[in-house]
Structure 1
Amino acid sequence: MIQTSSNITNSSDTFELPEHSADIRVGRDLIAATVPFAKESRVKSWWHVGVTLSLMIIVLAFAGAAPWWPLQLMLSILGAMLMVRTFITYHDYMHGSILQNSRAAWIIFHIYAAFALTPPSSWKESHNFHHGHVGKFSAVSIGTFPVITTKMWHAASFIERARYRIERHPFTVMFGYLTIFAFSICLLPLFLNPLKHWDSLLSIIAHGGLITVLWVFGGADMAFFVVLLPMTIACALGSYLFFAQHSFKRMNIISPEAWTFYRAALESSSYMRLNKVMQWFTGNIGYHHIHHLNVHIPFYRLPEAMAAIPELQSPVTTTLALRDVINCFKSSLWDEELQHMVTYREAKKFSSV
């Protein structure tokens, strides 16, 4: 196994918290400031869930039934974007930020999870692990993408390096439909613990069954435009959003002794600046630093929290611009001496100096 190191200090090359003063809240005081926003409006929650689910089903149905393939393509892409937003509602439900103790919501989201390759048992287990390990060194990819130091990289075997590269490779993110959702969230947990993760088998059967039914009764085009293409696009975008918000040039990796949810949220989670349309389709997941600070804030209240709390208004920012996408994928290893993320090439160069 790759061994970790905890010799970490802050530097000016990484995100810095403002100096403490009587007017600036940090730590538990800042988390406490977010508590008023961690209260849902039941009506709003049902409105967002109902509208999003209905639009997704209607658009995908028309994508399958449209007589002209360019129209099918456009509707399929729109359906993919609605899939992303639908997933965010499920994500918030699993965090307990919306519609808790609702029998109807439980039924709806468990049906959704079965068809969307997000079985509740493995999803909740891996995602909770993610929230507890953001900003830490990790050579494993349980619910997150691994991040190791340059020292760990140089000490790693050829197999360990290859696995690390594969898990963080752009193709792994691009084909997240297979690599992340089908394999990591469904097949692998089922293989490792079939009794605990029996719902992974249910999800595989439901998803595969839906494709089969559409293919048999509607043809290959229907299966492609209703499920295969939109799932490929939605999973690729969702996987990249997840990757980029915890693997960016100015992120900070925190030693185990100094790690807190507060520091992980503000130093190891980004704010992705998006236009209003993309904010809607992505369910405000770009406000990721606030989500990690308090997971109980409903997605539709994240902008409100940022607008009301000055300490949350100067986060490390990323975008979907090509330059930022490239920088996110190039930020591969944490250099303990330089105190920032570096590329594989830079790690090799520094080691030879």
Structure 2
Amino acid sequence: METTVKKSDFALAPYMKSNDLRATYQILNTVVPYLLLWFLAVKAAFISFWLLPPIMVLMALFSGRCFALMHDCGHYSLFRSKRVNRVIGFMLGAINAIPQYPWSRGHAYHHKTNGDWERYRGPSALISTEEFAKLSPSAQRRYELLRHPLMIFPGGFFYLAIKPRLALILGTYRFIGHLLTCLKQDPGIGLAKIISSHKSRNWYTAGEFWDLLFNNICVVGGWIFLGHLLGFGFFLSVYSITLTFSAAIFICVFFVQHNFDGSYAHKTEGWDYLRGAIEGSSYLELPTVFKWFAADIGYHNIHHLSERIPNYNLEACHNENRHLLADSKVLRMSDIPNCFKFILWDSASSRLVSIASFRQAAQSIVDTEPSFLDRTDQEKAIVKNVEA
């Protein structure tokens, strides 16, 4: 359904003003309790390990809130100053082991292409129904397994704890290979020319490299220091568990706010930015306590209309523009499990579909079409059936 509203119809500008006092208060009421919970966890471990689980639950929630505030810093919306957002964002990124600046640049691409599933396939790298039909049965099972809801736990840990370290190692290894190749071809070549001619797959700009490098220094250095201070067994156990659950929470929230029944999922040709924001992002209705820990990111449609609106203004902006959001999907916590089944993109009908519905359509084709159809013809028929 074509949207009849224009972006100019929304009252956004009054809510795009950052407030340094509110932002500072948010940092203090998030980072300080998180650090105190670590102190409390150490004390509790001396009494009984059974006291640790509730403390670790709170740690995971505060860690998730750190990520949400880091996300605002990446949009330069939490504080008024771009420099302050960069510094605080880097600090919050180090808490969650993720380099904030490279992450925020990648996230900005998501905002520019939201709803254009031909260019951006989401955090799970979804494929189209046509591509899925061409996979072998074992490859289809592997695709489905890697996108199972429970994979947000190992996937979340890999995303935060391992991927940034791996990116620096692989990127450095490839740069050394490029360096040796350049020196072999031209021994007199200057270092500046070698650096400028290198196109890394692990970072796109010098700024991203330095942020990635310093993040790794701070994170790995912090792991070593806290391991020596608290004991490696205790620290790594508590840290890895809380980091895993924290990552799983925000990956889950991000996923369901874009993957749901009826989500706007268009090709590049004819794609509309406004529909991507209004119909390709949901309003996730959360209980008050979870809204606070998520820094109101549930108002995701408003956030996509303008990423410069800080989290502390999202609810007020949403309430003022509610009458224009009739085409936005409203989700509740009970709807979250159902969202995880929408992991195929049907490009022809511009929607997301489940593997179950695709296989049901495939089975109906097998039952009704003549047996002499070859595999390619059957695949085309399956795709047409799903699109219908």
Q: Given the two structures, how large is their TM-score scaled by the length of structure 1?
A: 0.82
Alignment of 1:7-46 (within 5 A): 10=1, 17=3, 20=4, 26-31=5-10, 33-46=11-24
CA distance in 2, matches of 1:302, 1:136: 24
Gap regions ≥5 residues in structure 1? 1-9, 11-15, 21-25
Q: Does 1:343 align with 2:321?
A: no
Q: 1:47 to 1:314 in 2, by over 3 A?
A: farther
CA distance in 2, matches of 1:104, 1:168: 37
Moved more, 47-56 or 178-187: 178-187
Alignment of 1:53-72 (within 5 A): 53-66=31-44, 67-72=47-52
Q: Equivalent of 1:262, from 274, 281, 287?
A: 274
Does 1 or 2 have the higher relative contact order (CA < 8 Å, sep 6+)?
1
Hey, what does 1:304 align to over in structure 2? 316
Hey, what does 1:118 align to over in structure 2? 98
Q: Does 1:320 align with 2:320?
A: no
Aligned residues: 328
RMSD: 2.8
Q: Does 1:150 align with 2:129?
A: yes
Q: Equivalent of 1:280, from 289, 292, 295?
A: 292
Q: 1:87 to 1:336 in 2, by over 3 A?
A: closer
AA aligned opposite 1:172: M
AA aligned opposite 1:319: R
Hey, what does 2:303 align to over in structure 1? 291
Hey, what does 2:384 align to over in structure 1? none
CA distance in 1, matches of 2:241, 2:292: 21
Secondary structure at the residue paired with 2:157?
A: helix
AA aligned opposite 1:334: W
> More helix by proportion, 1 or 2?
2
CA distance in 1, matches of 2:118, 2:235: 38
Cα distance per residue 1:266-323 (max 9 Å; x no partner)? 11111111010100011111111111111011101111011111213662022332xx
CA distance in 2, matches of 1:131, 1:102: 19
Q: 1:241 to 1:307 in 2, by over 3 A?
A: same
- Does the 8 Å contact 1:189/1:200 carry over to 2? yes
Q: 1:200 to 1:193 in 2, by over 3 A?
A: same
Secondary structure at the residue paired with 2:340?
A: helix
CA distance in 1, matches of 2:58, 2:213: 29
Tell me the percent identity: 27
CA distance in 2, matches of 1:129, 1:90: 17
Q: 1:105 to 1:330 in 2, by over 3 A?
A: closer
Hey, what does 2:340 align to over in structure 1? 329
Gap regions ≥5 residues in structure 2? 171-200, 366-388
Hey, what does 1:6 align to over in structure 2? none
Q: 1:89 to 1:161 in 2, by over 3 A?
A: same
CA distance in 2, matches of 1:298, 1:282: 13
Moved more, 75-84 or 96-105: 96-105
- Does the 8 Å contact 1:283/1:300 carry over to 2? yes
Q: 1:180 to 1:333 in 2, by over 3 A?
A: same
Q: Equivalent of 1:200, from 205, 208, 212?
A: 212
CA distance in 2, matches of 1:256, 1:337: 12
Secondary structure at the residue paired with 2:265?
A: coil
Q: Given the two structures, how large is their TM-score scaled by the length of structure 2?
A: 0.75
Q: 1:155 to 1:330 in 2, by over 3 A?
A: same
CA distance in 1, matches of 2:289, 2:360: 42
- Does the 8 Å contact 2:279/2:327 carry over to 1? no
- Does the 8 Å contact 1:116/1:203 carry over to 2? no
CA distance in 1, matches of 2:146, 2:34: 30
CA distance in 1, matches of 2:218, 2:140: 36
Moved more, 283-292 or 35-44: 35-44
Moved more, 223-232 or 34-43: 223-232
- Does the 8 Å contact 2:267/2:347 carry over to 1? no
**Larger radius of gyration between Structure 1 and Structure 2:** 2
